[in-house]
Amino acid sequence: MTKSVSILILGAGGDLTKRLLLPGLASLLSVHDYDVQVLGAAREERTDEQWRQLIRDSFGQVTDPADADRFLESARYIVTPDVTDVARLQELIAACDHTPIIYFALPPAVTAAVCAALRQVDLPEGTRLALEKPFGTDLRSARALNRLIAQLVPEEQVFRIDHFLGMSMVLNILGLRFANQLFEAVWNGRRIERVEIVYDETLGLEGRGGYYDHAGALIDMLQSHLLEVLALVAMEQPPKLNEVELRSNAAQVLRATHVWDDDPVANSRRARYTAGKVGDRSLPSYADEPGVDPALKTETLAQVTVEIDTARWRGVPFVLRSGKALGEKVTQVRVHMRPVPEIPGFGGAPAPDSIMLDVKSGAVELDLTMNGSGDPFTLERSTLVAKKEPGDLLPYGQVLHGILDGDPLLSVRADMAEECWRIMGPVLRAWKKDEVPLEEYPAGSSGPEGW
Ligand code: BG6
């Protein structure tokens, strides 16, 4: 049976809707049969016709634009000067032909104000809420927002979006770990020395200065995405792959995670880019980018080392790092094994082996030490590579799939969102007090010297 829902995008005038949300929806609707009414609400003036054209163009990015036609007639755009206005919210809900999915493509403070206003609105049975990151601005505001949301709908109808959970490799981490003796047997601190979760981007601000300057790499990436990846890398095997078991095990990892030595000054680093060239694109200094206030000292590269205080992982550093305008795109979980003792007769100790999981492409690489090709009494490094075909769905399509199906497996549960803020809280506070120097790196480089 075709499922019918209305997606009401609040803040539909923004970049997210155009660049990620509608193309993600198109990738989903081109392979799955849903009856979806797409409503946009935002301050920006736009006609229904223009909205329909935007939907058509988004389909055009991923499939035949004509695939959009069956969704166009019911699609509507409603100019909404104040999205926190109770009467207007009531009208928006009334414009939904089916069970509404209210999608908050809004900054955290506006999201909170809309949720407060929604307490006075009659929400139809089954209404779902989808909330973009960052979820709140710190632990306190995330808790307050969770309390507010709990007054609106049950937790199973709340979808806190982390599109990383829609990336194919992220679930592959579980398949790879639990379907292979080879991995599961060594997946612990007795065998693993260090884990790095790296998401280096070559992109700069892409016109998002107004948002990014108030977030920075720590909130935009480490707090919002990389901790969720860490939870999957480190979790115990869930007894079932459902939203309760998977998310409970992820939450357990997060509860056990804290900044290494509880010392954010020694175990975090921050930097921002100066003018430079990434490939053949010249970027200005971050401080000179439009929408940036240099006095905020926002970092564009962040690194934090954490420990997961469980029997499996105690004593193993997990290094989380992400930055913008770097010379090379790296989207990897790198698992470094402990060294083996020297092997007599082979000319010294071999380099420790390592496993690399590419979060974006799904590729897996194993760095192994084998006998030298010319001289078998030596050792040399070889890499085994397994590649994967991309899935049918874009990450946003995968996440929307869960929302349309009403399955929150791949969205962030209330307590997980709070834990992520708790973990990064000491770092945020140390940076605010300027206890960690803000270093610099030229755009297009690999980061500051010595990192
Ligand atoms: C977003 C961040 O959530 O994730 C962006 O706000 C970042 O700053 C992006 O560039 C990275 O994800 P992807 O899928 O674009 O590589």
CATH code (residue 334): 3.30.360.10
| 252 in any annotated domain | yes
Q: Is residue 89 one of the residues assigned to a domain?
A: yes
Centre a 10 Å sphere on the Cβ of residue 376 and count the other Cβ atoms it contains.
Answer: 10
For residue 360, the ligand 1 atom closest to its alpha carbon is: 16
- Pocket probe for ligand 1: among 135, 225, 361, the residue whose CB has the most ligand atoms within 8 Å is 225
Structure tokens at 226: 């990389």
- DSSP state, residue 223: I
Domain boundary among 82, 116, 132: 132
Q: What is the pLDDT along the chain (451 residues), one digit of tens a residue?
A: 568 999 999 999 988 999 999 999 999 998 898 999 999 999 999 999 999 999 999 999 998 999 899 999 999 999 999 999 999 999 999 999 999 999 999 999 999 999 999 999 999 999 999 999 999 999 999 999 999 999 999 999 999 999 999 886 678 899 999 999 999 999 999 999 999 999 999 999 988 898 999 999 999 999 999 999 999 999 999 999 999 999 999 999 999 999 999 999 999 999 999 999 999 999 999 999 999 999 999 999 999 999 999 999 999 999 999 999 999 999 999 999 999 988 888 877 788 999 999 998 889 999 999 888 888 888 999 999 999 888 888 999 999 999 999 999 999 999 999 999 999 999 999 999 999 999 999 999 999 999 9
Question: 93 in a domain, yes or no?
Answer: yes
Q: How many domains does the chain have?
A: 2
Q: Both 71 and 176 in a single domain?
A: no
Please indicate, yes or no, if residue 155 is contained in any of the structural domains.
no
Q: First CA to last CA across the chain, in angstroms? A: 55
Q: What is the pLDDT of residue 351?
A: 85
Name the closest-CA residue to atom 8, ligand 1. 220
Residue 336: what pLDDT?
97
| Same domain for 126 and 227 | no
Shared-domain flag, residues 84 and 175: no
Is the same domain home to 189 and 233? Answer: yes
Domain that holds residue 70: 3-132
Closest protein CA for atom 4 of ligand 1: 221
Distance of CA 345 from the midpoint of ligand 1 (Å): 49
Torsion-angle region of residue 324: left (phi > 0), alpha (psi -120 to 50) or beta? beta
403 assigned to some structural domain? no
Those residues with Cβ within 8 angstroms of residue 102's Cβ, 6 or more apart along the chain or in another chain: 8, 10, 93, 118, 127, 128, 129, 130
119 & 177 share domain: no
- Evaluate whether residue 42 is within a structural domain: yes
Q: pTM score > 0.75 for this model?
A: yes
CATH number at residue 52: 3.40.50.720
Distance between CA atoms of residues 272 and 435, nearest Å = 16
Q: Can you name the residues that pair with 305 across neighbouring β-strands?
A: 319
Does one domain contain both 172 and 126?
no
Do 370 and 237 lie in a common domain?
yes
Q: 194: helix, coil or strand?
A: strand
Nearest to 336 by CA among 434, 174, 444, 198: 198
Does residue 147 fall inside a structural domain? Answer: no
| Distance from Cα 364 to the centre of ligand 1, integer Å | 21
> Are both 232 and 376 inside the same structural domain?
yes
Active site residue 401: no
Which residues line the pocket of ligand 1, CB cutoff 6 A? 201, 203, 220, 395
Cis status, amide bond into 134, omega within 30 of 0: yes
Active-site pick, 163, 225, 336, 401: 225
Residues 179, 79 share a domain: no
Same domain flag for 249 and 381: yes
Cβ pair 89, 118 in contact under 8 A: yes
Any residues with CB less than 8 A from the CB of 1 and at least 6 apart, and which? none
**Is 150 part of a structural domain of the chain?**
no
Give CA separation, 74 vs 27, 67, 403, in Å.
Answer: 19, 14, 20
d(Cα 254, Cα 164) in Å, to the nearest integer?
A: 16
- Note whether 122 and 228 are same-domain residues: no
The answer on 235 and 106 residing in a single domain is: no
**In angstroms, what is the span from residue 17 Cα to ligand 1's centroid?**
14
Q: Which of 80, 114, 132 is the last residue of a domain?
A: 132
- What separation in Å is there between the alpha carbon of 285 and the centre of ligand 1? 20
From the CA of 57, how far away is ligand 1's center (Å)?
A: 21
